């Protein structure tokens, strides 16, 4: 998926995430006193670039799946995504409008994954506030997701550099303009794509990792509707950079499958959007929990393809699209701040509810840390089960 804020921007859907809407609490976090010390950031000098110069070694998937082991490992054996971001598990919580404020991102980072603040729905000053809270909440690596269509993108980039953010995931646009500037400031950059063509462009732009996002994913999507199963091996072949798989990953088993296809990490949105620390409204979470297979569909291809829950607003959009409505008409139907209305304010009938296909397999709201732990446990079990398959 390439996240595209186009129609939200037209509707000024960029506003404030008040903290008191965020549930869940973090405890026992030491202040990030070492934040400014570059020694604490193993990826600061972009080690992966050096690793890439010899090119990825094609090996059977089981030998690549090395992360979070208790025993000291040889650097060369370590999972490249863990090494690049300095994290224990190659599990990334995708940046998500109206869901991923500091509480969610900090909970994921504390559990050993990589938490990302979702800048797409924050005013610049709100982003600063969340960044500063992150620095206090965790001393583990974390980052910020920036949809490049953001209206005040230059101002936002200045903030990221001034606040010494070390990891940035960009989406919805070309990484060409900002990657050199971010690298100059010591930032590690990953970019989200929905095709191997864009993956190649990312490599040319010099990004450090690629998130390849399939059609199952929540939020804004690729036009070609390429599924994760189809996309990952092709992106893997198209680039020597480490690939993170996204879209439809909701279990340790799915994580193993993605890694068998050549991904070295996973980016997960839906599971974390429906976690206790997500700043989405309770009404949104409950509506998504009740979804069955087929409860979401891709629509709005004339604006920016988006996977939405099939609610009252979706029906209006679908009806308009069936009679060939133009972009202007579709924008009118969405109205102002449609995703804020749906996800954050909980208007589950007339708001835009972005969530992935995998929501139909989620049956409870759980703390984000528990989600990370369960993913790792199930991944390891599935790894053994698959290794035992004989035919
Ligand atoms: C509610 C919601 C909001 C999202 N907002 C963004 C965003 O602001 N920027 C972005 O790059 N991706 C966004 N995404 C995509 C996620 O970061 C992630 O890549 C995707 O959800 C992965 O697929 P999954 O939903 O099947 O786990 C969003 C996804 C959801 C569900």
pLDDT digits (tens, 9 = 90+) for 114-167: 999 999 999 999 999 999 999 999 999 999 999 999 989 999 999 999 999 999
Strand arrangement of the beta sheet that strand 296-299 belongs to: 219-220, 306-309, 296-299
Q: What band does 73 get if pLDDT is binned at 50, 70 and 90?
A: low
Whether 358 lines ligand 1, by a CB cut-off of 6 Å, is yes
What is the reported pLDDT for 75? 58
pLDDT by residue (tens digit) across 219-254? 998 889 999 999 999 999 999 999 999 999 999 999
Grade residue 287 by pLDDT with cuts at 50, 70 and 90. very high
The pTM score is: 0.85
Dist CA 285 CA 272 (whole Å): 10
295 lines ligand 1 (CB under 6 A): no
The answer, yes or no, to whether any atom of ligand 1 lies below 6 A from the CB of 17, is: no
Average pLDDT over residues 42-54: 31
The pLDDT score that the predictor gives to residue 72 is 57
Dihedral pair phi/psi, residue 22, rounded to 5°: -95, 125
387 band by pLDDT with thresholds 50, 70 and 90: very high
User: Which band of pLDDT confidence, cut at 50, 70 and 90, is reported for residue 55?
Assistant: very low
249 lines ligand 1 (CB under 6 A): yes
279 close to ligand 1 (CB < 6 Angstrom): no
* Per-residue pLDDT, 174: 94
Give me the pLDDT at residue 100, please.
98
Q: 351 in ligand 1 pocket by Cβ < 6 Å?
A: no
Query: What's the pLDDT score for residue 51?
Result: 28
What confidence tier does 326 reach under pLDDT thresholds 50, 70, 90? very high
Higher pLDDT, 18 or 302: 302
Nearest-CA residue for atom 18 of ligand 1: 269
User: Can you tell me the mean pLDDT for 18-25?
Assistant: 32
Closest residue to atom 1 of ligand 1, CA basis: 354
pLDDT of 13 above 60: no
Other C-beta atoms lying within 10 Å of the C-beta of residue 297: 14
pLDDT at 29 over 60: no
* 95 CB near ligand 1 (under 6 Å): yes
Q: Which of 33-47, 293-307, 367-381 has the lowest mean pLDDT?
A: 33-47
Of all residues in the chain, the percent with pLDDT exceeding 90 is: 79
When pLDDT is cut at 50, 70 and 90, the band that residue 78 belongs to is confident
In this prediction, residue 52 has a pLDDT band, given cuts at 50, 70 and 90, of very low
Which atom of ligand 1 lies closest to the CA of 270? 25
CA of 135 to the centre of ligand 1 (A): 23
95 Cα to the center of ligand 1, angstroms:
6
What's the pLDDT score for residue 48?
A: 29
13-27, 73-87, 179-193, 311-325: least confidently modelled range = 13-27
pLDDT at 210: 98
| pLDDT value at 76 more than 70 | no
């Amino acid at each position: 998926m390439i996240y595209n804020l186009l129609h939200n921007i037209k509707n000024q859907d960029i506003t404030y995430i008040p903290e008191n809407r965020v549930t869940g609490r973090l405890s026992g976090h030491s202040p990030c006193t070492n934040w400014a010390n570059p020694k604490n950031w193993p990826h600061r000098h972009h080690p992966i670039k050096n690793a890439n110069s010899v090119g990825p070694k094609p090996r059977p998937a089981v030998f690549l799946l090395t992360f979070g082991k208790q025993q000291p490992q040889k650097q060369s054996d370590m999972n490249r995504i863990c090494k690049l971001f300095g994290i224990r598990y190659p599990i990334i919580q995708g940046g998500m409008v109206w869901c991923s404020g500091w509480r969610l991102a900090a909970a994921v980072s504390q559990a050993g994954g990589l938490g990302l603040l979702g800048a797409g729905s924050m005013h610049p000053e709100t982003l600063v506030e969340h960044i500063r809270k992150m620095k206090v909440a965790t001393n583990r690596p974390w980052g910020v997701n920036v949809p490049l269509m953001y209206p005040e993108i230059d101002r936002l980039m200045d903030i990221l550099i001034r606040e010494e953010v070390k990891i940035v995931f960009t989406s919805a646009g070309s990484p060409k303009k900002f990657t050199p500037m971010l690298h100059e400031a010591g930032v590690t950059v990953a970019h989200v794509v929905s095709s191997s063509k864009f993956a190649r462009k990312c490599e040319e732009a010099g990004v450090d990792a690629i998130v390849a996002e399939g059609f199952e994913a929540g939020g804004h999507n690729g036009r070609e509707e390429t599924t994760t199963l189809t996309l990952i091996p092709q992106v893997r072949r198209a680039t020597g950079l480490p690939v993170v798989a996204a879209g439809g990953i909701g279990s340790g088993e799915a994580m193993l499958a993605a890694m068998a296809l050549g991904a070295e990490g996973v980016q997960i949105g839906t599971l974390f959007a429906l976690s206790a620390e997500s700043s989405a409204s309770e009404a949104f979470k409950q509506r998504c929990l009740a979804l069955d297979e087929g409860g979401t569909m891709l629509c709005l291809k004339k604006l920016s393809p988006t996977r939405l829950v099939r609610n009252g607003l979706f029906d209006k959009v679908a009806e308009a699209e069936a009679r060939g409505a133009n972009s202007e008409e579709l924008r009118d139907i969405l109205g102002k701040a449609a995703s804020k209305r749906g996800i954050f304010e909980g208007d589950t009938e007339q708001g835009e509810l972005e969530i992935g296909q995998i929501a139909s397999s989620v049956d409870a709201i759980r703390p984000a840390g528990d989600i990370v732990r369960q993913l790792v446990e199930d991944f390891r079990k599935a790894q053994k089960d698959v290794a035992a398959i004989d035919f």
